[in-house]
Amino acid sequence: MDLVSGLFEAITASSTYVNAALFAGLLIFAASGEWIAERSGTINISVEAMLLAGAFTSAAGYTATDSFPVGIICGVLGGMVVAGVQAEMSHRLTADQFVVGLTLNILILGLAGFLARVVDLTTKTAPRWTIPGLSRIPLFGDALFGHPWPFFLLFLVVPLAWWLVFRTRWGLEVRASGEDPQAGDVSGIDVNKRRRQAIYFAGFTAGLGGAFLIFVQVGRFDEGVVSGRGFIAIAAVIFGGWTLRGTIAGCFVFALALALRLQLPNYYEGVPTELLQAFPFLVTIFGMALFAHRVRAPAALARPFVRGLK
Amino acid sequence: MNADHSELTGVGADAASTPAVELRGVTKRFGAVTACDSVDLVLQRGKIHGILGENGAGKSTLMKILIGLVLPDEGSIHVDGQAHQIHDPLAASKLGIGMVHQHFSLVDALTVWENVALGEAGRLDPQAVQHRIGEIGEHYGLTIDPMARVGDLTAGLRQRVEIIKCLRRDPSIVIFDEPTSVLTPEESMTLFASFRDVVAAEGRAVVLVSHKLDEVIAATDEVTIMRQGKVVDEMITADADAPTLARAMVGRDVSLRGERAAFGLVNAAAADPADVGTSDDSTPGDPSSPAVLSIREASARSPQGITLLDGLSLDVHAGEILGIAGVEGNGQRPLGDLLSSLVTLSSGEVRVSGEIVSTKTPGAMASAGIGVIPEDRHDSGVVLDMTVAENLVLIDPARAANRGVLDRTRLVESAEQLIAEFDIQCAGPDAPMWSLSGGNQQRVVLARELSYEPKVLVGAQPTRGLDVGAIEYMTSRLRDAASDGVAVLLISSELEEVLDLADRVAVMFRGRIVGEMARDAVDVEQLSLLMGGAAV
């Protein structure tokens, strides 16, 4: 099979889109919270650790209770515990946000790997819901409207993130904190508190993302279940120029790349799998190279704020 | 006049007996420095109260205490007769204290209404905020588009947003922090005229913080003078005159022209011919000789696509001082940055002694013989954690090195020489830069730039944040440089400083030179119109 027709088969297969929707769901959960954290001025690289912690605690929660809602709530709590460490360390104790994030990513990877070996986790995917009518749309129907039910939490989280940032006073203060913390401080905003709260929100959505991995996409926990997708979520925020719409679009582009990686080996024999595995990350790098210089980051992104200093 | 005001307020005798604000024995120390030393201050309703002092006299610390940005170590604050602790700006705003900041309380990326709503409590109601901005604009003559992005506004309009943001909370006490540094003289006169009416009619107490005598004399009813953290005098403005105020502010008679310029006292029309003589003792450059520094049609954009320079052309000849006047934010900073090799031009060229200098290569301007005293010495002038000696060779460390290895003996020797020559007060060549006062840090920058014997010396806001003595030193050095044949470009938002020093004055507006006149031919009214962007 030649290159072009193989690619054509891959992008017309509805299973590609089902997989893409699953990858996109995970990325969108992670990226919508990451987007708010970045708008407040933090490059929250511990989103990777938040996803993994959320995945582990949701699996543990389900193992203990056999309840999907309890599992999801445990996932949220797991993501928020990591967020708590990140937020308090970098925006109360003024530790460097990258050092804290890097440390958390390594720590949680080790911890989750260890605990997964000690605890016997039994999990499965949640019951599948299909939205009548909509799921029959050709090519995209199944991808968007036929999944295990926690998938549909996405349709709540994204509008919630938008509403918080653009329609509430809290969101206005978060944006001001990410653009000009001095001006925010002079105006009477507790900048570091808003930044901490934004990271907690990132922990909340990444925790949901972790639960999504277990109950929608994979069905069981292992320590490699996240494997760098938190970083792709960060790339999606940059790709999207720190707008929510662009971020979601970025998630879909990168998710499609991840899905094609799964699909392509069916059509190309003999292509090294390592090369195919690198494919989504190549797309990510090209996406960043194309868009990173055309967009404007929050002016105070990654700059710590200490009161009274210039 | 004062009597008129208290009658008009209609608040009556009560207001006179209970001051709006009363500070008693307020003290604040930062390490070994006492910024405010048992300061007493009384503000009355219906009056404009001036707080006058040099840079570093403690004015702004005192105001920061009043609006909750700084906590005092000692002393009491009474608002309407009640003792209060003001922990943060929100507490101050609940007490009715509002401050109009110079330029640092606005977020560029947000719209006007978002900025106005920032820092308030309660549910966010965009329509209500936008409506209120319209009302305030109509009431005080401060109309503005609530949907405009603040970053796109001119300095004058931004000041308007600051004022609306402050008035929107209906403060009974309004503090103006050095409001005129970002306004044209016209704009500031209009502003104060309208504020007199507002104060009179609505019984608010207004504080005007300033280091400019004429502004304080023109706009205030009472004045408190601060020096080195202490209140040294209080008087009714109508009873005071400029020399009295200046003496109280500095603690001695003020006679030097440079000093008077620092206080905004040089009469811009140069009515006194004897005054002009002092700046004429250097021979101004011969305009017919070829220019040493020549910029042609220079245009540049920021990475975000904002126009920084827009077809700017200027010439500076050997031995003359060209002063760039203009309201801050009209491209003065990019011009200074261009000559520090920090800005790359999209079109146009820069020539030094006829040779084109690349704007793409870092350090090319310095190699071509341009010395720069940068606008913000902490940002781009000195490295605070390095020693005085190291800072003195920072531009070209090769001078104190053999094949890339620093030669300590030569480093220290040349540093000691410069320390003596420029009278830099420090513990020695190895003293860390941060241990020096602002004036002495600026001397290090000056010594370094002049020690390279530049052909062109650029002073970008060279006296900002310095005290009177340091200002006098800096201006005399700039004059000396010009009389030694250096082409001097002075970029300053202090119009008085430009008029005091320059042989020619060029006005900058939106990234270009919009007018130019010889010092003797300056018409301040016309200059002010040019600064405001009017075509003359």
- Which CATH number characterizes residue B493's domain? 3.40.50.300
In this structure, the answer to whether residues B301 and B233 fall within a common structural domain is no
Closest CA to B213 of B180, B187, B190: B180
Do B374 and B449 lie in a common domain? yes
Same domain, B176 and B302: no
**Cβ-proximal residues to A101 (8 Å cutoff; 6+ apart), any chain:** A43, A44, A45, A46, A49, A86, A90
pLDDT of residue B272: 40
pLDDT class for B459, splitting at 50, 70, 90? Answer: very high
Q: Which residues pair with B82 in a beta bridge?
A: B79
Q: Which amino acid is at A132?
A: P
The beta-carbon neighbor of A299 closest among B109, B119, B124 is B109
Q: Report the pLDDT value the prediction gives residue A197, as an integer from 0 to 100.
A: 98
Strands B205-210 and B173-177: parallel
First-to-last C-alpha distance (Å) of chain B: 36
- Taking the C-alpha atoms of residue B147 and residue B154, their distance in angstroms, rounded to an integer, is 15
Pick from A172, A190, A294, A307 the residue to mutate for testing the B interface (most B CBs within 10 Å).
Answer: A172
- Which among B114, B121, B165 has the least Cβ separation from residue A172? B114
The predicted pLDDT at position B211 comes to 76
Greatest CA separation for chain B: 79
The DSSP code for B239 is G
CA gap B221, B218 in Å, rounded: 9
Pick from B437, B435, B397, B402: which is nearest to B415 by CA?
B397
Q: Are residues B388 and B522 in the same domain?
A: yes
| Segment holding B499, helix H or strand E | helix B495-501
A60-114 tens-digit pLDDT: 999 999 999 999 999 999 999 999 999 999 999 989 999 999 999 999 999 999 9
Q: Is the pLDDT of residue B14 over 90?
A: no
Which among B205, B94, B99, B113 has a CA at the least distance from the CA of B161? B113
The beta-carbon neighbor of B117 closest among A172, A180, A182 is A172
Residues B434, B513, single domain; the answer is yes
The encoded tokens of residue B482 equal: 């010009």
Which of B90, B110, B120 is nearest residue A175 as measured by Cβ atoms? B110
B128 lies within 8 A of chain A by CB: no
Question: What is the pLDDT at residue A155?
Answer: 93
What contacts B39, CB < 8 A, 6 or more positions away?
B23, B25, B26, B27, B58, B62, B75, B226, B229, B230, B231
Q: Residue B442, class by beta-carbon neighbours within 10 Å (0-12 exposed, 13-18 middle, 19+ buried)?
A: buried
| Structure tokens, B102 | 């110079």
The model's pLDDT over B87-116, given as tens digits with 9 standing for 90+, comes to: 888 889 889 998 887 666 899 899 999 999
B250 and B307 part of one domain: no
Q: What secondary structure letter does DSSP report for A148? A: E
The answer to whether the CB of B387 falls within 8 A of the CB of B373 is no
Q: What angle do helix axes A244-263 and A154-167 make, rounded to 10 degrees?
A: 150
Specify the pLDDT at position B282: 41
Report d(CA B336, CA B99) in Å as an integer: 31
Residue B114 is assigned to a structural domain of this protein: no
Residue of B118, B129, B158, B168 to mutate, interface with A, max A Cβ within 10 Å: B118
Cβ neighbors of B9 (< 8 A, separation 6 or more) are: B15, B45, B46, B200, B201, B202, B203
Query: In which residue are the tokens 């009431």 written?
Result: B139
Q: Does B275 touch chain A (CB under 8 A)?
A: no
- B471-475 — which CB contacts under 8 Å span 24+ positions? B471/B258, B471/B259, B471/B262, B472/B256, B472/B258, B472/B259, B472/B262, B473/B439, B473/B443, B474/B442, B474/B446, B475/B258, B475/B261, B475/B500, B475/B501
Task: Give B400's DSSP letter.
Answer: G
Whether residue B276 is predicted with pLDDT greater than 80 in this model: the reply is: no
| Confidence at residue B6, expressed as pLDDT on a 0 to 100 scale | 38
Residue B243 has pLDDT above 70, yes or no: yes
B431 and B521 assigned to the same domain: yes
B284 in a structural domain: no
Rounded to an integer, the average pLDDT of B232-255 is 81
B384 touches chain A (CB under 8 A): no
Q: What b/e readout covers B400-416, taking b as 16+ CB neighbours within 10 angstroms?
A: beeeeeeeeeebbebbe
Same domain, B224 and B83: yes
> According to the model, what pLDDT value does residue B288 have?
63
- B260 is a domain residue: no
B324 and B182 in a common domain: no
The mean pLDDT value for B503-529 works out to: 87
Query: Cβ separation of A169 and B114 shorter than 8 Å?
Result: no
Reported as a single tens digit per residue, the pLDDT across A186-210 is 888 999 999 999 999 999 999 999 9
Strand partners, B205: B173
Q: Tell me what pLDDT residue B268 has.
A: 40
High-pLDDT (> 70) share of chain A, %: 98
Band of pLDDT at residue B259, cut at 50, 70 and 90: low
DSSP B184: -
ipTM of the modeled complex = 0.87
Given B254, B282, B305, which residue is the final one in a domain?
B254
pLDDT reported for residue B279? 41
The number of residues in chain B equals 536
Average pLDDT, stretch A153-159?
95
Phi and psi at residue A12, to the nearest 5°: -105, 0
Contact A86, A199 (CB under 8 A): yes
Residues for chain A: how many in total? 310
Maximum Cα–Cα distance across chain A: 66
Contact at CB, A182 and B104, closer than 8 angstroms = yes
- Please report whether residue B315 resides in a domain: yes
**B428 Rama sector, left if φ>0, alpha if ψ -120 to 50, beta otherwise:** left
pLDDT 10s digits, B464-473: 877 777 788 8
Q: State residue B10's pLDDT score.
A: 39
Confidence of residue A161 (pLDDT cuts 50, 70, 90): very high
Q: Nearest CA of chain B to the CA of A182: how many Å?
A: 7
pLDDT of residue B11: 41
Q: What is the pLDDT of residue B350?
A: 94
Whether residue B321 is contained in a domain is answered as yes
Record the tokens describing residue B80, joined without a space.
């309407």
pLDDT at B16: 52
Bridge partners, A148 (sequence order): A128
Beta strands in B81-154 (DSSP E): 82-84, 97-100
User: pLDDT tier at B335 (50, 70, 90 boundaries)?
Assistant: very high
Which structural domain, as residue segments, surrounds residue B317?
A: 293-531
Sign for the CA dihedral angle at B66, B67, B70, B76 comes to positive
Q: Domain A3-119+146-291, what architecture?
A: Orthogonal Bundle (1.10)
SS (H, E, C) A95-137: CCHHHHHHHHHHHHHHHHHHHHHHCCCCCCCCCEEECCCHHHC
Q: How many domains does chain B have?
A: 2
Q: What mean pLDDT is reported for chain B? A: 82
Residue B170 has what pLDDT? 85
Is residue A161 within 8 A of residue A28, CB to CB? The reply is no
pLDDT band at residue B2, thresholds of 50, 70 and 90? very low
Q: If you write DSSP's letter for every residue of B191-210 in order, what string do you get?
A: HHHHHHHHHHHHT-EEEEEE
- Give me the residue spans of the domains in chain A: 3-119+146-291
Mutate to test the interface with B, among A175, A185, A186, A296 (most CBs of B within 10 A): A186
A186 and B69 in contact by Cβ < 8 A?
Answer: yes
CB contact under 8 A, A173 and B118: yes
| Chosen domain end from B254, B271, B305 | B254
B160 in a structural domain: no
Q: What is the mean pLDDT of residues A16-40?
A: 95
Kind plus residue range of the DSSP H or E element containing B321: strand B321-325
Distance of CA B502 to the CA centre of its chain: 18
Percent of chain A past pLDDT 90, that is, above it, reads 64
Judged by average pLDDT, the poorest of A115-124, A242-251, B40-49, B152-161 is B152-161
**Separation in Å, CA of A40 to nearest CA in chain B:** 13
Q: Would you state the structure tokens that stand for residue B54, as one six-digit string? A: 């040099």
| pLDDT of res. B310 | 92
Beta strands (DSSP E) in A123-248 are 128-130, 146-148
Give the amino acid at A72.
I
- C-alpha–C-alpha distance, residues B79 and B81, integer Å: 5
More reliable by pLDDT, A101 or B376? A101
Give me the pLDDT at residue B15, please.
Answer: 46
pLDDT band at B117 (very low <50, low <70, confident <90, very high): very high
3 state DSSP class of A36: helix
Predicted local distance difference test score (pLDDT) of residue B527: 83
DSSP secondary-structure letter at A295? S
Average pLDDT of span B249-277 = 52
* Beta-strand pair B82-84/A146-148: unpaired
